[in-house]
């Protein structure tokens, strides 16, 4: 079955951002020694981006008519994992969030951002198996996020592609979707590089 057209274009036009977007997997999980703290940091950073993006998607007028949003809600799964790893709800409420998520004026921009939030789950089965090898206890108790599309990654990805093609009725709209995805990748990169760095410095000063 052919891949939806706009998924192909997004994959090509955003390729320059992919290595940076995927870097947390190598930095925290695919290491010679991966600890529980590493896995927790990976999930905390996933939460900091996914939670505000999903809140903005829920608030986008008309998006729920284009795609099934409840089935794609990943935030509750990340919260469940963080609780299993020892964080409290108070701890989770104090985690840094990416605060540069725009209010989406319509489904085109929203779907561009959704593409960026959904893309990490394409490799979720590989990551989950790796975590199970390195951290079997954590994998047993805290892989709800990595398992949320288990057995349906391909169908969920194709459903996103179908929605993208449906919304991209003109070249101008398709361009808007791609531009939104590029903005999302850039925002993710800035947040990881600058905002989280400032948060870590502030925490260190508070402890000191």
Give dist(CA 82, CA 92) in Å, integer.
8
Cα angle 96, 149, 116; round to 5 = 50
How does DSSP classify residue 192? I
Give dist(CA 130, CA 128) in Å, integer.
5
Give dist(CA 40, CA 136) in Å, integer.
14
- pLDDT surpasses 60 at 99: yes
Q: Of 188 and 197, which is predicted with more confidence? A: 188
Residue found by looking up tokens 């939806």 in the block: 4
Copy the structure tokens of residue 160.
């996103």
H-state helical runs in the chain: 5-13, 15-21, 23-24, 36-58, 75-84, 89-93, 107-118, 124-134, 136-141, 144-147, 153-167, 171-190, 196-207
Residue 201 binned pLDDT confidence (cut-offs 50, 70, 90): very low
List, for residues 23-33, the tens digit of each pLDDT value: 999 999 998 88
Q: What is the pLDDT of residue 172?
A: 97
Cα angle 110, 44, 81; round to 5 = 100
Q: What is the pLDDT of residue 200?
A: 52
CA proximity to 178, closest of 104, 120, 116: 116
- pLDDT surpasses 70 at 198: no
Copy the structure tokens of residue 200.
């870590």
3-state secondary structure of 151: coil
Q: What percent of the chain has pLDDT over 90?
A: 89
How does DSSP classify residue 102? P
Global pTM reads 0.92
Residue 181 binned pLDDT confidence (cut-offs 50, 70, 90): very high
Mean pLDDT of the chain: 92
Cα angle 146, 10, 194; round to 5 = 65
Rg (the chain; Cα; Å): 17
Q: What is the mean pLDDT of residues 63-87?
A: 97
């Amino acid at each position: 079955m052919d891949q939806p057209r706009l998924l192909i274009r997004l994959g090509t036009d955003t390729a320059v951002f992919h290595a940076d977007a995927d870097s947390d997997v190598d930095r925290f999980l695919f290491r010679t020694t991966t600890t529980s703290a590493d896995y927790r940091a990976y999930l905390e950073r996933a939460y900091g981006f996914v939670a505000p993006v999903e809140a903005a998607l829920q608030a986008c007028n008309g998006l729920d008519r284009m795609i099934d949003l409840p089935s794609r809600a990943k935030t509750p799964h990340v919260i469940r994992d963080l609780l299993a790893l020892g964080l409290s709800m108070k701890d989770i409420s104090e985690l840094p969030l990416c605060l540069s998520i725009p209010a989406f004026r319509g489904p085109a921009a929203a779907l561009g951002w959704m593409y960026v939030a959904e893309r990490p789950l394409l490799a979720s089965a590989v990551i989950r198996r790796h975590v199970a090898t390195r951290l079997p206890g954590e994998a047993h108790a805290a892989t709800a996020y990595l398992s949320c599309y288990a057995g349906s990654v391909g169908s969920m990805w194709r459903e996103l592609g179908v929605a993208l093609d449906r919304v991209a009725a003109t070249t101008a709209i398709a361009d808007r979707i791609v531009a939104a995805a590029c903005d999302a990748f850039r925002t993710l990169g800035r947040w990881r590089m600058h905002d989280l760095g400032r948060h870590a410095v502030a925490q260190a000063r508070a402890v000191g």
